[in-house]
């Protein structure tokens, strides 16, 4: 799994672009303050208290806020109506506060752990399916002990996830001969 896959899978609605370099993540931008723990004012955004107007504003692929020419309210009011249509109020752009590397490592480790457990369960289910035939009442087991061995083996397979502490090294039960 790449860094960009991890980011898109864990917070899919927050990222515009992410390559395999943490510094290249371009977070989606919002135009009004949200939860302060999640969003911060983009450092390239207009941060003044005075209302300004611009003829162009956008967020570049690198995450920088780009403005065209900026004018004051007085300059805007002096424009004729037709010219005013080309101007809009300057917006402050906020970005998602970057996720700390330690938190991303935790997300990755949890993903890998979940994936390991899924792999174990899938293999266990496959082995159970392959041995279903031995539970049929009229299966010709050579002895009652042989039948019980298959039943015990299948129970051990069902108990495997609960009895496994390290999903990267499960202790698979031996199938009867």
- What is the SS3 string spanning 99-160? CCHHHHHHHHHHHHHHHHHHHHHHHHHHHHHHCHHHHCCCCCCCCHHHHHHHHHHHHHHHHH
Indicate the residue among 96, 123, 140 that finishes a domain: 96
Domain count, the chain: 2
Burial class (CB in 10 A: 0-12, 13-18, 19+), 175: middle
Domain that holds residue 151: 101-163
Q: Tell me: the pLDDT tens digits for 12-47? A: 666 655 555 555 555 555 555 555 566 777 888 888
Whether residues 55 and 34 share a domain: the answer is yes
Residue 82's pLDDT band, with cuts at 50, 70 and 90, is very high
* pLDDT at 21 (0 to 100): 55
Same domain, 124 and 41: no
Structural domain contains residue 60: yes
> What does the block give as tokens for 54?
């611009």
Q: Are residues 74 and 110 in the same domain?
A: no
Same-domain pairing of 111 and 62: no
Question: On the CB side of 93, how many CA atoms lie within 13 Å of its CA?
Answer: 20
Mean per-residue pLDDT over the chain, rounded:
83
């Amino acid at each position: 799994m790449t860094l960009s896959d991890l980011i898109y899978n864990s917070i899919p609605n927050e990222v515009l672009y992410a390559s395999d370099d943490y510094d290249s993540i371009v977070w989606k931008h919002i135009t009004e303050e949200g939860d302060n723990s999640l969003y911060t004012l983009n450092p390239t955004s207009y941060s003044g208290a005075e209302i300004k107007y611009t003829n162009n504003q956008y967020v570049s692929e690198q995450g920088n806020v780009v403005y065209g020419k900026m004018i004051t309210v007085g300059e805007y009011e002096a424009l004729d109506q037709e010219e005013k249509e080309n101007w809009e109020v300057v917006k402050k752009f906020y970005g998602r506060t970057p996720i700390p590397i330690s938190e991303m490592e935790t997300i990755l480790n949890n993903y890998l752990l979940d994936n390991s457990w899924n792999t174990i369960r899938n293999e266990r289910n496959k082995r159970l399916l392959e041995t279903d035939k031995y539970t049929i009442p009229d299966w010709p087991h050579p002895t009652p002990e042989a039948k019980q061995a298959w039943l015990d083996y299948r129970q051990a397979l069902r108990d495997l996830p609960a009895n496994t502490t390290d999903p990267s090294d499960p202790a698979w039960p031996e199938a009867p001969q």
